Structure 1
Amino acid sequence: MTDGYAKQRAAAPSGFFEVEAAGLTWLDVPGGVPVAKVLAVGPTSITVSRVATVAPSAAAARRFGAQLAVTHNAGASAFGVGPDGWSGDGFIGDAPLSLRPTRRWGEFYAEQRLLPYAQRAHRQGALDASGLAVIEALAERLSAGEFDDELPPARLHGDLWAGNVLFSGDSVVLIDPAAHGGHRLTDLAMLALFGLPHLAEVYAGYTDAFPLADGWTELIGLHQLHPLLVHAALFGGGYGSQAVQVARRY
């Protein structure tokens, strides 16, 4: 890393850059995945350390997976809670992101991650009534605890697609989080949604460091529903129908 990299947005919503800074600081844990360092932040801009990128490698991907398990293991006080030192909601991309502490994962995921975006996508014509009903039926089962397990809240990046994973040195550096307490599979699922080089090595490194329950890969789609619905709400296109197809598997 060398000098700083600044992002500016004159009409940024209140807290837009400040919650990003809080998330980066919260994710910076010993032994975890390296993150871009916050150099300065204000209402209309953030400056972070510049990242020197390299070509992706299997070894770096495997190290990243092991480090991600450490980051997740740092934990959170509740599902849905925001980063330490932050009060209020956050953002995922340009969409608002609820950060309301919740005791059970399924209730949190249904009420804060699926329904708001499905309803917005429906209002905007990106999700028809029958598709909305599919999401609502799954959300009801989530709220009832059908998919809950014994894993405690993990410390999530929250927007872990390939564009926010920069291969650098012998691992990666993370940028642009939507950090919150959630289920660790959510970050792993996001990595798979739009593709990441050497993803199998990331998963291998992760599960070596933190073994997951048998059949965990079968739940990847469930955890991809949130970003799919966010994309449906923001961009329309085929994201709404893709989300419905995934939801029908559960």
Structure 2
Amino acid sequence: MVSGQQSEGPAAAAARLTGFETVSHGPAGTLSEVVLTDGHHEFDAVVKRGHAPGATRAEAAGLRWLASADAVRIPQVHGADDEWLVLDRVTETTPSHAEEFGRALARLHSAGAPTFGAPPPDGPTEAWIGTAPMHNSPGDSWPEWYAEHRVLPYVRMAAGLLDTAVFERACARIPSMAGPPEPPARLHGDLWSGNVLWDATGAILIDPAAHGGHRETDLAMLHLFGCPQLDRILAAYNEVAPLADGYRDRIALHQLFPLLVHTVLFGRSYANQATTAALSLG
């Protein structure tokens, strides 16, 4: 908790960070809904309390970096500090406009990043994916960078649940399985279906672990947790930025990262899935 703000609640934090007046608010929690006004117009916002000091600033930096690509829809960031983040509230409805989302995601990835592992501008090197640590360290070669910074660190964190040798063998296979070299893409970084919200005009992305990476990693996360209308999303994505041959054969490779993160956070059931994915690489 930030020093000097021990008794501050989400409504007070929203007013302080935005300069707007709080009209009403719901129960306080990790996520709290508030209604704010600038004196002329009211709008619905969500106030998020970070799980660690600086996590909300990192998330705000990621959201702004994704939004700056002018591709996917991102909730507007109204304010952030080391404890709180204030965003537009999304009114969810039935998934629609899947093709538009696929094309927008392709444009986001094509906006690029300086290197693999690049954090967002003003984002920290020591960041998070969910509540798990994620180290953003630059690399020029995706296979080596992915093994060093997105696979093996989580294998070490989950010691006791995994056979390290299985994952070391899988990492040795990455250069021969990675497909044609691609430039660093601008990734959402935690693109499971729960972070894709849908309102009346299409998809909105929340809760990023944004960094420079391989675009197929974002797509593999959509496969892993069952995004609605995924076939239509991918078909439209391919119209804008065709995927390299053998894309589907590489899905398990790119799913190692989220499966290992989930192993660290949630335990043995994901350890089994991560091991299966690693063994499938040969």
Q: Find the aligned partners of 1:29 and 1:169 in 2 and give their Cα distance.
A: 22
For structure 1, list consecutive stretches of 5 or more residues without a partner in the other structure: none
Give yes or no for contact 1:32–1:70 (8 Å, CA) kept in 2: yes
Give the corresponding residue for 2:37. none
The one-letter code matched in structure 2 to 1:238 is: S
The answer to whether structure 1 residue 21 and structure 2 residue 54 are counterparts is: no
Q: Which segments of structure 1 move beyond 6 Å, counting only runs of 4 or more? A: none
Give yes or no for contact 2:154–2:261 (8 Å, CA) kept in 1: yes
Q: Find the aligned partners of 2:229 and 2:280 in 1 and give their Cα distance.
A: 26
Matched position secondary structure for 2:68: coil
From 72, 76, 84, the counterpart of 1:33? 72
Give the corresponding residue for 1:205. 236
The answer to whether structure 1 residue 161 and structure 2 residue 192 are counterparts is: yes
Give yes or no for contact 2:54–2:83 (8 Å, CA) kept in 1: no
Q: Find the aligned partners of 1:221 and 1:86 in 2 and give their Cα distance.
A: 29
Q: Find the aligned partners of 1:194 and 1:65 in 2 and give their Cα distance.
A: 17
Q: 1:19 to 1:30 in 2, by over 3 A?
A: closer
Normalized against structure 1, the TM-score is what?
0.91
Instruction: State, as a whole percentage, how many aligned pairs show the same letter.
Output: 45
From 112, 120, 124, the counterpart of 1:83? 120
Q: Find the aligned partners of 2:228 and 2:124 in 1 and give their Cα distance.
A: 35
For structure 2, list consecutive stretches of 5 or more residues without a partner in the other structure: 1-41
Matched position secondary structure for 2:158: helix
Normalized against structure 2, the TM-score is what?
0.81
Count of residue correspondences: 240
Post-superposition CA distance 1:178-218 (Å, at most 9, x none):
00000000000001111111010110110011111122111
Give yes or no for contact 2:189–2:208 (8 Å, CA) kept in 1: yes
From 111, 116, 123, the counterpart of 2:153? 116
Deviation at residue 151 of structure 1 after TM alignment = 1.1
C-alpha RMSD of the superposition:
1.6
Q: Which has the higher strand share?
A: 2
* Greater relative CO (CA pairs within 8 A, separation 6+): 1
Return the index of the structure with the highest Cα Rg. 2
Give the corresponding residue for 2:139. 102
Q: Find the aligned partners of 2:123 and 2:230 in 1 and give their Cα distance.
A: 32
